[in-house]
Amino acid sequence: MSYQDLTDPSPKRAFMLCNEAVARAVLECDAKVAAFYPGSPTSEILDTLYLLSADYPDLKMEVSANEKVALETVAGASMAGARSFTSMKSVGLNVASDTFYTLGYTGVNAGCVLLVADDPHAHSSQSEQDGRFFAPTGHVPMLEPSTPQEAYDMTRYAFDLSERYKILTMIRTTTRVNHQYASVEVGEVKRTPFQKRNWKDVKRPYFTLSDTARRLKGEALDKLGKIEEEFAASPFNRVIEGEGRIGVVANGVSYLHAMEAAEALGVKPHILKLGTTHPLPKKLIVDFVSKLDKVLVVEELMPYLEQHIKAIAKDADCGLEVLGKESGHFGYVGEYNVAVVSKALGTVYGVKSPVDYEAVQAKAAELKKVIPNRLPVFCAGCPHRATLWALQQALKGTDFILNNDIGCYSMLQLEPYSLTDMMLCMGAGQGISSGMQHVVNDRVVALIGDSTLFHAGLPALVNAVHNGHNYTLFILDNSVTAMTGQQPNPGSDFGPNKVTEIDIEAVVRGIGVKNVTKINAFDPKPNVETMKKAILGEGVNVVISVGPCALWNDRKRRAAKIPIIPNKVGKETCKTIYACVRDFYCPAIQLDMETRQTIIQPDICNGCMVCAKLCPVSAISSTGGAQK
Amino acid sequence: MTQYNILLAGVGGQGLMLLSQVMGDACTKSGVKVVVGAQHGLAQRSGSISAHVRIGDAYSPLIPYGTADLIIAMEATEALRYIEFLKQGGTVIMNSRIMHPPLETAPIVKNRQELRMYVTLEQVKEQLSKVVGNVISIDAEKVAVEVGNPRTENVVLLGVASALIGFPVKIEPLKESVRRVVPERAVEANLKAFDLGRKAAEG
């Protein structure tokens, strides 16, 4: 969707990304406070509202230090009487879950909506976590869209539901929903002026302990009972009438795969599409399954619906056979697609798909043996590539453990580096290092980015200093949260509002780290000695490697009309030593198969000059002219 | 069920997502149903990326294997990487450029005595010819340089596609969407890239 379409307040039909449609709905619902920590596949919600906040200054929009703070910020705004919104990725809710679970007890005031996006297939996450289980255990209602239009409609409804029941409301999506574009019909943006309120006008208690906790839990469950009745009539649950006594129950993107699989197979099951998945509309489900002999439950990740439907059918005593993961029709790992659903549905009906998907895939696998893998790599001009080149040299000859963290630098675990011993979740690198340094003889090294340090790294650093641990922490400071699209973090000098830049070195020294060194990422050779010293030093050693994210910096340069000048390799001077390739692996550098010399692709190179610094015969120099 | 499925493949940074948005926007403005499943992944450049453009009556945001009418590949090896999506006798439009990833260069450098070779365009074409009805290969990088903006390779290929018989989106709505979706400073170069791509195909 063009920015014009998004920001223009009039109703319209436009082609938009699901995440844009959600952002538009947030704006239309007159939400006044929105706070986020970026995380794929939700980051574009943040990005869109960030852009829109320039045109709609009555929206207080901020990028938070982590998801817990973001959820608390929007919950606080709601308690004080303003509608509010946050979104986060699956594992983001783990970070925010302490707040989430207690909010389920206290409830909220003005409409307060939380969107959580799971990532079946772990495209861009460390796990295939199923966030749906948060809703029943947190006593929070949950909606699951299939399409961008539905995500837009559900976001609007969620604000209304949340406000009527004074209950946090959760929208649960998956990657293939968030990253789906389609035509969406949107309404008018009518904003009210931002008004400060007085606490006495909205005041009610939001605390919970013992007696209060038990009373509030009961009240939350009562609200959910009423919401279940409302959900029974919700247009977000739909029955598509079919033929015979076989049915399908599906949610989210699985519903779309199931509709297409049924058409491809030429079968007509009755289909129940569930959009309200906590509390489940039990009566609707009983009515649906009571006319069936078999039902195939189509849902990714865990058998959440399947187990509930089994229980509901057993209570209703309707002799239903429930098929899904537990019957072996589907697996538990990875995401679904039309081929996966066709296979399961075809098995139920005893028919085969007109396209032999397995044969097509097998043939393709054979054909593509000639092409190399193209794994994600550090971008041309990335400061991490330079830092990690130096780190590889500094670690040579030392027994070490390398504990990594979540960020672009996570790619160090991939080929051709294959250099990570441990990587769990945001901020875990240091905590794990604390444990390991008690036990091993090896030097313990932890890596963390600037954004991840602010997000979840600081408590672990405090802990390590306080307890006198021995490890070396490399802080890779590229000024932004790069991996999710270069959003600002507390160390950035920009944001949707006026921001104060937090000085990482001052924070680290303030915590009490004695050995702190700041290095320029793009000066790799001198950095090797500095790093070695830090790695072999006693106590907690911190090296802060500074260099801006290449994508972010290139964008800034383009906006400021500063030319980006690529490098070139001298044909006379290149002696095929390959110092610019080994341990460096820049995607701009290729080989010329005739001369075996290296060549630089000018439209990829951003002129960071690090390869030139690595070349022992000075064969690489700037072209001196702008190429992009 | 009438459908036209296009699988876009390329390397991160080549403007593949923008291309999918131009196509989707053009369909929507022309009243044609469309759903696009984009693989945004992470922000880094230079990885393999794809987008599924499904025009007409489709539910899933992902093209089922063996049902794409067309693959548009912004880099030659990427056409082969997603070949399971193409239907029997489908068409491939691809950039003749090959961007050799560091993972291909690393073992060549490590075992320099063996004089290993990169995969070639001829090898890719040979593999494609075993299953593809029509392979159209064009040096989009060269055309983009001719246009004066090396970042227009994507729209050159869209111009080529627009000349295909049966391509479901008309030229004018496509150009109109280029104007709407592409950043203002690059609109003129992109329209020129579209025309040159189209001309090359009709050539």
- Measured over the CA atoms of residue A129, residue A150, residue A331 and residue A374, the dihedral's sign is negative
A563-628: CATH, from 3.40.50.2000, 3.30.70.20, 3.30.300.30, 3.40.920.10: 3.30.70.20
CB contact under 8 A, B43 and A482: yes
Which residues 588-627 in chain A show a CB within 8 A of chain B? 589-591, 593, 596, 601-604, 627
Which one of A7, A40, A360 makes the best mutation probe of the B interface by having the most chain B beta carbons within 10 Å? Answer: A360
* Contact with chain B for residue A17, Cβ under 8 A: yes
State whether residue A375 sits within 8 Å of chain B by CB: yes
HSE of A285, CA atoms in CB hemisphere, 13 A: 31
Q: Which residues of A touch B11 (CB under 8 A)?
A: 374
Is this complex scored with an ipTM above 0.90?
yes
Distance CA A538, CA A519 (A): 19
Q: Stretch A297-323: mean pLDDT, rounded? A: 96
How are beta strands B48-56 and B34-38 bridged, if at all? antiparallel
Q: How many CB pairs under 8 A join A and B?
A: 224
Which residue bears the tokens 């399908």?
A248
Smallest Cβ–Cβ distance between B102 and the set A123, A371, A416 belongs to: A416
| Dihedral of alpha carbons B107, B113, B115, B116, sign | negative
The minimum CA-CA distance between A606 and chain B, rounded to whole Å, is 12
Domain A3-230 CATH superfamily: Thiamin diphosphate (ThDP)-binding fold, Pyr/PP domains (3.40.50.970)
Instruction: Answer for the pair A305, A144: CB distance below 8 angstroms, yes or no.
Output: no
What share of chain A in percent tops pLDDT 90?
97
Of B114, B118, B82, B83, give the one whose Cα is nearest residue B102: B118
User: What is the 3-class SS of A173-212, one letter each residue?
Assistant: EEHHHHCEEEEEEECCCCCCCCCCCCHHHHCCCCCCCHHH
Q: Which chain A residues are Cβ-neighbours of B34 within 8 angstroms?
A: 15, 181-183
Contacts of A604 in chain B (CB under 8 A): 13, 45-46, 99
Task: Reply yes or no on whether the pLDDT at A21 is more than 60.
Answer: yes
Interface test with chain A among B30, B32, B40, by most A beta carbons within 10 Å: B40
Q: What pTM does this model have?
A: 0.97
Q: Chain B interface, mutation test: which of A4, A15, A481, most B Cβ atoms within 10 Å? A: A15
Nearest one of A299, A285, A288 to A251, comparing CA atoms? A299
Q: B130, B12, B91, B103: which is closest to A374 by C-alpha?
A: B103
What is the pLDDT averaged over residues A402-421?
Answer: 95
Does the distance separating the beta carbons of A1 and B99 come in below 8 Å? no
Name the residue in chain A with its Cα closest to that of B109: A578
| Domains contained in chain B, CATH given | 3-202 (3.40.920.10)
Question: How far, CA to CA in Å, does A190 sit from each of A10, A52, A210, A349, B131?
Answer: 9, 14, 43, 50, 54
- DSSP run (H or E) holding A340: helix A338-349
Between positions 299 and 358 of A, the ones with CB within 8 A of B are: 337-339, 342, 355-357
**In the predicted structure, residue B42 carries a pLDDT above the cut 80:** no
The amino acid present at A32, given as its one-letter code, is: K
User: Least CB-CB distance to B38: which of A179, A355, A586?
Assistant: A179
- Mean pLDDT for chain A overall: 97
Give per-residue pLDDT as tens, A521-553. Answer: 999 999 999 999 999 999 999 999 999 999 999
CA distance A171 to A154: 8
Say whether residue B11 is in contact with chain A using an 8 A CB cutoff. yes
DSSP B49-80: EEEEEEEES--SSSPPTT-EEEEEESSHHHHH
Question: What's the start-to-end Cα distance of chain B, in Å?
Answer: 34
Q: Which pLDDT does position A1 carry in this prediction?
A: 62
- A116 beta partners: A88, A172
What's the whole-number mean pLDDT along residues A309-328?
96
- DSSP SS3 for A51: helix
> Which architecture does CATH list for A238-364?
3-Layer(aba) Sandwich (3.40)
Per-residue confidence (pLDDT) for residue A626, from 0 to 100: 53
Question: What is d(CA A442, CA A300) in angstroms, rounded to the nearest whole number?
Answer: 42
Q: Which residue among A124, A179, A371 sits closest to B37, beta carbon to beta carbon?
A: A179
pLDDT at A628: 45
Closest residue in A to B117 (Cα) is A593
A563-628 has the same fold as A238-364: no
Rounded CA-CA distance B148/A143 in Å is 49
Is the predicted pLDDT of residue A401 greater than 70, yes or no? yes
CB contact under 8 A, B103 and A372: yes
State mean pLDDT over A48-52: 96
H or E stretch including A460? helix A458-466
In this complex, which of A176, A183, A378 lies closest to B34 when CB atoms are compared?
A183
Is the Cβ of B56 closer than 8 Å to some Cβ of chain A? no
Dihedral Cα B187, B188, B193, B195, nearest 10 deg: 110
- Across the range A221-226, mean pLDDT stands at 98
| Percent above pLDDT 70 for chain A | 99
Closest alpha carbon within chain B to A602: B150
Q: What is the pLDDT at residue A19? A: 97
Residue B2: pLDDT band by 50, 70, 90 thresholds? Answer: confident
User: Is B83 within 8 Å of A180 when comparing Cβ atoms?
Assistant: no
Is residue B124 within 8 Å of residue A370, measured between CB atoms?
Answer: yes
B80 → closest Cβ in A15, A371, A551: A371
Please state the rounded mean pLDDT for residues A479-496. Answer: 96
Residue B188 has pLDDT above 50, yes or no: yes
Can you tell me the distance from the alpha carbon of A145 to that of A252, in angstroms, rounded to the nearest whole number?
A: 5
Q: What is the CATH number of domain A383-556?
A: 3.40.50.970
- What pLDDT, on the 0 to 100 scale, is given for residue B41? 65
* B-proximal residues of A, 31-90, CB under 8 Å: 40-41, 44
A585 close contact with B: CB closer than 8 A: yes
Q: CB distance from B22 to chain A under 8 Å?
A: no
Q: Which one-letter DSSP state was computed for residue A604?
A: T
What chain A residue is nearest to B48 in terms of C-alpha separation?
Answer: A374
For strands B68-73 and B86-95, give the pairing.
Answer: parallel
Q: In the structure encoding, which two tokens stand for residue A277, read together?
A: 């998945």
Percentage with pLDDT > 70 across chain B: 99
Nearest to B45 among A176, A363, A551 (CB): A551
**Helix (H/G/I), strand (E/B), else coil: B103:** helix
User: What 3-state DSSP class applies to A499?
Assistant: coil
Residue A200 Rama label (left phi>0; alpha psi -120 to 50; beta): alpha
DSSP string, A66-117: SHHHHHHHHHHHHHTT--EEEEEEHHHHHHHHHHHHHHHHH--SS-EEEEEE
Q: What is the mean pLDDT of residues A337-357?
A: 98
| pLDDT tens per residue across span A450-467 | 999 999 999 999 999 999
d(CA A280, CA A232): 8
DSSP string, A463-482: HHHHTT--EEEEEEE-SSBT
Report domain extents, chain A.
3-230, 238-364, 383-556, 563-628
